A and B are shown apart, each in its own frame.
Chain A
Amino acid sequence: MKGHKRDILSSGKAPLKSPVAVSVALHLLVFGVALAGWSWSTPPEPEPRSISARLISPEPRPSPVVEEKDQPDKDRERKQAEAQERQRVQEEKARKEAEKKAQEEAQRREEERRRQEAQAQELAEKQAREREAARQKAEAEAKERERQKAEEERRKQEEVKRRAEEEKRRQEEQRRKEAAEQERREEEARKKEAEKKRLEAERRLREQQLEALAEQASQDREAEARKQQEAAAARAREAQMLSESEKYQALIRERLSQAWYPPSSATENMTARLQITLLPTGELVGVKLISGSGNTAFDNSALSAVRSLNRYPIPENRDTFERYFRQFTIEFNPKKMRR
């Protein structure tokens, strides 16, 4: 029953619109099923057969009496006796037999009469019993109908009550569920809040740590940056000095190229190296021929060129000057000679 109902309910093909409709349908169904059940549950009961059987056993045969003779010594006598006896027994036996037969015949007739009597009585009894049974049966049937009707009524009432209870339980359940849900939600919210707070706290802590780290990093970085700046400045100074030096090297090269008149005897494999010493003003303090070309005119042309500059173009930066231009070497080596 329940399963059936659940089936219907759970078959969501046609969801029932309202509980009332469900209830009505349910009632109808229950009622129908109950009726059907009643009609099916009364199969025709067979009439009870009450047979009173009586076993009539024959009369036990009396045991033959044997007379004991005392003395076997008188065999012949005894034999004679015995034969006489035997004759007498046999006679006795036949007489008894006839007697018994007559007795049995009487007994049989009596029996037959008794049996007929029993039969008649039995038939009467049987008819009375049958009437009684029919009466009882009708009575029972009426009673049963009455009972079933009451039962049905009770069931109906029970059903209504059960349904009401069920409804109540359901509502109760619903309320409980809602309450639980509410509880759960609240719990969740509380949890959430707690989690949020925890995260917030964690975040704050982390941020503080990070801030501390960042602060440290920043300090380190600054220190590093200072160091780097210093190194970079040193390098920059170096690079600047170098680039400045290169600039002034180029200037000196240009000036000397213009001032140098390589003699016509010069060849590409002639090289004169001169060491130059300058004052910070760019004035030439001294020039020394480190290695000559082997050609006096060529060496002279180089020396003359070096001395022809009134003032060497030198960097203003004193460090650069000291590093590169206080003393340096000039090499004269014609790469393209006009000839």
Chain B
Amino acid sequence: MLMTDRKFCLDRILKTPAIVWLALMLTLPSGARAELLIRITEGASSAIPIAVVPFAESGSMPAGDKVSSVVQSDLTMSGEFRPLEPSRMLSLPSERSEVYFRDWRLLGQRYVLVGQLTRNGDRVQARYELFDVNQEKRVLGETAAAPAGNVRSLAHHISDRVYEAITGVEGVFSTKLAYITVSGQGDQTRYRLQVSDVDGKRAKIRLESREPILSPAWSPDGKKLAYVSFETGKPVIFVHELATGERQKVSDLPGLNSAPAWSADGRSLLMTLSRDGNAEIYSKDLASGKLSRLTNHWAIDTEAAWDHSDRGIYFTSDRSGGPQIYHMERPGAEPRRITFGSRYNARPRPSPTGDYVYYVHQRDRSFHIARMNLENGEESVITRTGSDESPSVSPNGRLLIYATRQEGEGVLTVVSADGGAAYSLPASEGEVREPAWGPVTR
């Protein structure tokens, strides 16, 4: 024992230099270390805190909603912002000199929007500034004006500007919605085509009918609507000029005339016709009236929409036995089925960016809006309600509107395109169906 101990000691004496060297080698390189790098790959999952300070007003302002509150609800609807309650604000600045960043920081705000409204004859002018609280920097400083009776448009415009300044994405608050309402029963049943602001406000009836109105579709310039009306007793496709109210029968062929969808240049309409006895998809040149057939199959093919490249179409077909989504890469190409997740997938609506397709998806006996990632085929349900139908994507691809039922009533709901936030538009009387999100117009 003694011997082994000593031997061990001797051994250790012999071995220690290596350890020292190792230690030295280990400690040496640490002297020359590269600068620390911290990678942030995930952001906050919550919405951005923003303080929309009520605008200062000089001169008499029209009654009704304030600009700042419209902006607040717009930003809220986007799902990306979390506006601060005005009652919690420590001060109500309207220009830079009044903004105490420290205060807003304490309130946890990232941005502060301040502004002044000035009555200028029959117009209202807005001067507004957006500040980054942390950077203590002005992000935006502009003026805008609108007729005194149109301050909502002014507010939506400001919302768009703020939204774009912060997110880098075009705002959609100045766009319009088209939808169909149904009210009354029996003989009193009225179908109305309505157009409203994106927040459901300022709705205007464009067409009223005792017979069903279906499938409103916005022209790319936002000036016309195409829809199907049964006013003649059978489905007929009309194109309706909103500014003038002028209507035009675009397709009144025997059988089915339905599901109109505009081409990106606004010169032609996709439609479903059953003039040969079976529902097929055609493209109709509006100037020449020339029809070109895109599908030819014994099954029903309908609900076509151009893909983002404007070369191919998505459509619904029951050629596999039930409604499923197909993609035809170009006219004449063999359609490719893209949905397999359930027995019912219909009404495809591609996103403007071309990376997703939204559609009605049946799961567990209820209908939801699902979206498919076209890159990897991943399907995800983005609505939490049931009986969801008629998805329509916002022009910036960030939001989606669809029709659903709440407490027995049909309502429109806006969700962020990833399903993160939902915002129900105020219910109007009766039932609301088939929303169509209008384009951005400048």
Contacts and interface: CB of A to CB of B under 8 A. Distances in A.
Contacts of A300: 132, 135, 139, 166
A334 B135 contact: no
Contacts of B16: 220-221, 224, 228
A228 to B, nearest CB: 7
A303 B132 CA distance: 10
Nearest to A271: B39
A329 B40 contact: no
Interface of A: 210, 213-214, 217-218, 220-221, 224, 227-228, 231-232, 234-235, 238, 245, 249, 252-253, 256-266, 295-298, 300-308, 310, 323-325, 327-336, 338-339
Contacts of A297: 165-169
B43 A334 contact: yes
A314 B166 CA distance: 30
B417 A256 contact: no
B441 to A, nearest CB: 21
Interface string B9-35: 110110010011001101100100101
Given A217-B13, A249-B38, A338-B418, A261 B27 contact: no
A264 to B, nearest CB: 4
Nearest to B78: A264
Contact of A263 (B6, B38, B39, B168): B168
B35 to A, nearest CB: 6
B134 interface: yes
Contact of B40 (A234, A330, A336): A330
Contacts of B139: 300
B36 A304 contact: no
A334 B43 CA distance: 7
B398 interface: yes
A315 to B, nearest CB: 12
B168 A257 contact: no
Given A238-B27, A261-B43, A263-B167, A214 B9 contact: yes
A231 B20 contact: yes
A231 B24 contact: yes
B421 to A, nearest CB: 10
Contacts of B10: 213, 217
Contacts of A252: 38
Contact of B169 (A253, A263, A305): A263
B141 interface: no
A260 B27 CA distance: 36
Contact of B13 (A220, A261, A307, A331): A220
A116 to B, nearest CB: 122
Contacts of B132: 300, 303-304
A238 B30 contact: yes
Contacts of A335: 41-42
A303 B133 CA distance: 11
10 contacts: A221-B9, A228-B16, A253-B40, A257-B42, A260-B42, A264-B398, A297-B166, A303-B135, A330-B40, A336-B41
Q: How large is the interface on B (under 10, 10 to 19, 20 to 34, 35 or more residues)?
A: 35 or more
Interface in B110-148: 110, 132-136, 139
A99 B9 CA distance: 144
Please list the 8 inter-chain residue pairs (A to B) with the smallest Cβ-Cβ separation, ordered nearest first: A297-B168, A265-B168, A307-B134, A328-B36, A231-B23, A262-B43, A335-B41, A263-B167
Contacts of A298: 168
Interface of B: 6, 9-10, 12-13, 16, 19-20, 23-24, 26-27, 30, 33, 35-45, 47-48, 80, 105, 110, 132-136, 139, 165-169, 355, 398, 417-418, 420
Contact of B135 (A231, A265, A304): A304
A327 B167 CA distance: 29
Nearest to A284: B134
Contact of B33 (A295, A302, A323, A331): A323
Nearest to A216: B13
Nearest to B353: A339
A264 B169 contact: yes
B35 A331 contact: no
Contact of A210 (B6, B36, B166): B6
Given A263-B167, A264-B169, A297-B165, A331 B38 contact: yes
B250 to A, nearest CB: 35
Contacts of B27: 231, 234-235, 238
A333 B9 contact: no
A256 B133 CA distance: 16
B20 A224 contact: yes
Given A235-B26, A265-B169, A260 B44 contact: yes
A305 B44 CA distance: 10
B6 A256 contact: no
A304 B80 CA distance: 16
Contacts of B43: 257, 260-262, 301, 305, 334
Given A224-B20, A263-B168, A307 B36 contact: no
Nearest to B41: A335
